[in-house]
Amino acid sequence: MKSLTRTALALALTAALTLGVVACSDDSGSGNDWRIGLEAPLSGDLEVLGSGMLKGAQMAANEINESGGLLGREVTIVPIDDAGDPATGVKAANEAIKKGLDGVVGPYNSGVGIETLPLYIKDGLVPIRLTSDDSTNGLGFTLQPMTYQIAPVATKAMDEWLGAKTVAIAYDRTEAYTKTQASSVRADLESAGVDVVAYEGIEPGKDDYSKEVGKLAGTGADVAYLVTYFPEGGLIAKEMFNQKVKTQCMADYGAYDNGFIETAGQKAAANCPVVGVPAPSDFEGSTNYVEAYGSEFDEDPGTWSPYTYDSVNFLAEGVRQAKGFKAGPLEKALDGVKGWKGWTGSVTINPKNGNREPGTVVVVTTNSSGAFTVDDDWAKAVGAPYGNG
């Protein structure tokens, strides 16, 4: 991100905000350590997702500290629980900022990030976000795909891989990402000559989506595309499987988490491929990372553990180059990243928006062991660089 653009953005955000957070981030640190916040849904419906995010960040910090620290100081990960809710996130972010942060990784939910990312930027921090809605472009940096990178992959999968002529879209009407993604996929499908025969907004948090599934089945569409987070996506996939709906189920990126499999059950999840990113063990050279995570936490990595692990290390690399956390030099260092390698592969940053190019978007399937893996049939059909086939 060019400094002029970022300066203008920061000034606009400062003028818009009325919460009055006092800037405190500089190169002095917050004591004898560097305090890096990890904002995530650490409670609520997405808690399992947030837990994996936190552990990935902790694993990175532990390795940095074992190697002598960052610029001679240890890194401390500060959990910031936004519960996947904007109001909760704003309160938690302000509290963390007041106590002192040197850096921040997260949040995950775009609707939360729209509110909290400007707070961190106003405080002089450089966020390494995990949001995917295009409205968060330019608000820090990200190693994770954005809507403009995800929607074309989803469209191509339905059009070229599944051969869909008609698609019914069900989307979470309450979230920034899901609304933007559903609209983008709809436009892309129509441009590809695929008929979108239904476009239904749903309310999250319900226990029963049989009515919604009945509507999707009634369209007779070739594919039902679920643009929801995993609790709702898993329940809809399960209901479609139990009702033996002939329409092919496919879930969007927002549903990509191990919680989708847990909610749907292995058989229903296997019947509903998901647009996501490679599973933790799908990345080339991932064996050591997966084993180290298992050794440290006595469990398999969470879906987003590799991305928070890499985000902390990516931030740390920028800090080493910039010789501190001061925003200007740090942004310049991160803008220039080309071919940096981590758990999630090679990272090159587009300085115009702070996003990783290209995005690591894939279609995954649930295997017989109840775990995600890149769908080899999809990878062969579209010539993707991931997969085992």
What is the C-alpha separation between 78 and 367, in angstroms, rounded? Answer: 35
210 backbone dihedrals φ, ψ, rounded to 5°: -65, -35
- The residues, any chain, with a CB within 8 Å of residue 29's CB and separated by 6 or more, are 35, 73, 102
Three-state SS annotation for 356-367: ECCCCCEEEEEC
Amino acid letter at 93?
A: A
Low-confidence ranges of the chain (pLDDT < 50): 1-29, 388-389
* Secondary structure of residue 173 in the 3-state scheme: coil
At position 344, the amino acid (one-letter code) is T
Architecture of domain 147-276+362-382: 3-Layer(aba) Sandwich (3.40)
What pLDDT shows up at residue 199?
98
Sort residue 93 into left (φ over 0), alpha (ψ -120 to 50) or beta.
alpha
Please tell me the CATH code under which domain 3-145+284-356 is placed: 3.40.50.2300
DSSP three-state, residue 9: helix
How far are the Cα atoms of 77, 293, 329, 335 from residue 62, in angstroms, in the given order? 9, 11, 25, 26
Q: Which amino acid is at 191?
A: S
pLDDT (0 to 100) of residue 20 = 36
Total-model pTM: 0.90
Report domain extents, the chain.
3-145+284-356, 147-276+362-382
SS3 of 324-350: CCCHHHHHHHHHCCCCEEECCEEECEE
Query: Cis omega before residue 231 (within 30°)?
Result: no
Distances (CA, A) of 107 to 2, 39, 42, 84, 274: 23, 5, 11, 9, 22
Q: What is the pLDDT of residue 31?
A: 65
Which 8-state DSSP code applies to residue 301?
P
- Per residue in 228-261, pLDDT (tens digit) is 999 999 999 999 999 999 999 999 999 999 999 9
Tell me if domain 3-145+284-356 and domain 147-276+362-382 are identical in fold.
yes
In 3D, which of 22, 23, 59 has the Cα closest to residue 38?
59
Beta strand 166-172 with 195-202 is parallel
